[in-house]
């Protein structure tokens, strides 16, 4: 499995190639990540120097806390990265949302943080829910066929 992954935002204005140092990723349920992503942040830690960007002029940033910065595409609003901005063991990395990868297969969710803030409705492993394939979604909602 290649540890080099490509990805980008919803509109394609921001693209990147990331050389991963591993395949493990985590989930953050903190209130800021939930507000920023509209859900939990499923993110993988990548050294900043391992990410090559195109369309970087479309990246907007905000110092979201005394110790962290969040970035998004200024064109479509996709969350792009979380980055620790103070010295310490997490400095020098970006947390890339796994959903930005063109191919997120082969990655493994290994931890969840702020689990005490996780809404009880977030249960990825539940088996008592309806699941639909893309084809089934298109059948139910024909407008999706154009995506």
User: How far is 14 from 97, CA to CA, in rounded Å?
Assistant: 13
pLDDT at residue 9, as a whole number: 98
CA distances from 44 to 12, 108, 113, 145 (A): 20, 10, 13, 31
pLDDT at residue 77, as a whole number: 97
Which structure tokens are listed for 44? 């993988």
Q: Give residue-wise pLDDT tens across range 78-136.
A: 999 999 898 888 889 999 999 999 999 999 988 888 888 889 888 766 566 566 677 88
Average pLDDT, the chain: 90
pLDDT at residue 63, as a whole number: 95
User: How far is 118 from 113, CA to CA, in rounded Å?
Assistant: 9
CATH architecture classification, 4-118: Beta Complex (2.170)
* Domain extent listing, the chain: 4-118
User: How far is 26 from 145, CA to CA, in rounded Å?
Assistant: 32
pTM for the full model?
A: 0.85
**Alpha-carbon torsion angle 57, 62, 68, 71, nearest 10:** -40
pLDDT at residue 40, as a whole number: 93
Three-class SS state of 8? strand
Question: Percentage of the chain surpassing pLDDT 70?
Answer: 92
User: How far is 26 from 36, CA to CA, in rounded Å?
Assistant: 16
User: How far is 14 from 87, CA to CA, in rounded Å?
Assistant: 27
């Amino acid at each position: 499995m290649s540890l080099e992954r490509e990805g980008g935002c919803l509109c394609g204005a921001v693209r990147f190639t990331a050389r991963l140092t591993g395949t493990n990723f985590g989930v953050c349920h903190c209130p800021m990540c939930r507000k920023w992503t509209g859900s939990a942040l499923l993110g993988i830690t990548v050294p900043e120097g391992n990410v090559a960007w195109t369309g970087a002029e479309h990246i907007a940033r905000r110092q979201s806390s005394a110790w962290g910065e969040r970035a998004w595409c200024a064109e479509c609003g996709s969350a792009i990265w979380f980055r620790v901005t103070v010295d310490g063991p997490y400095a020098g990395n970006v947390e890339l949302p796994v959903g930005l990868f063109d191919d997120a297969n082969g990655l493994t969710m290994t931890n969840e943080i702020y689990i005490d803030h996780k809404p009880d409705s977030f249960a990825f492993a539940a088996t008592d829910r309806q699941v639909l394939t893309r084809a089934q979604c298109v059948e139910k909602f024909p407008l999706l066929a154009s995506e």
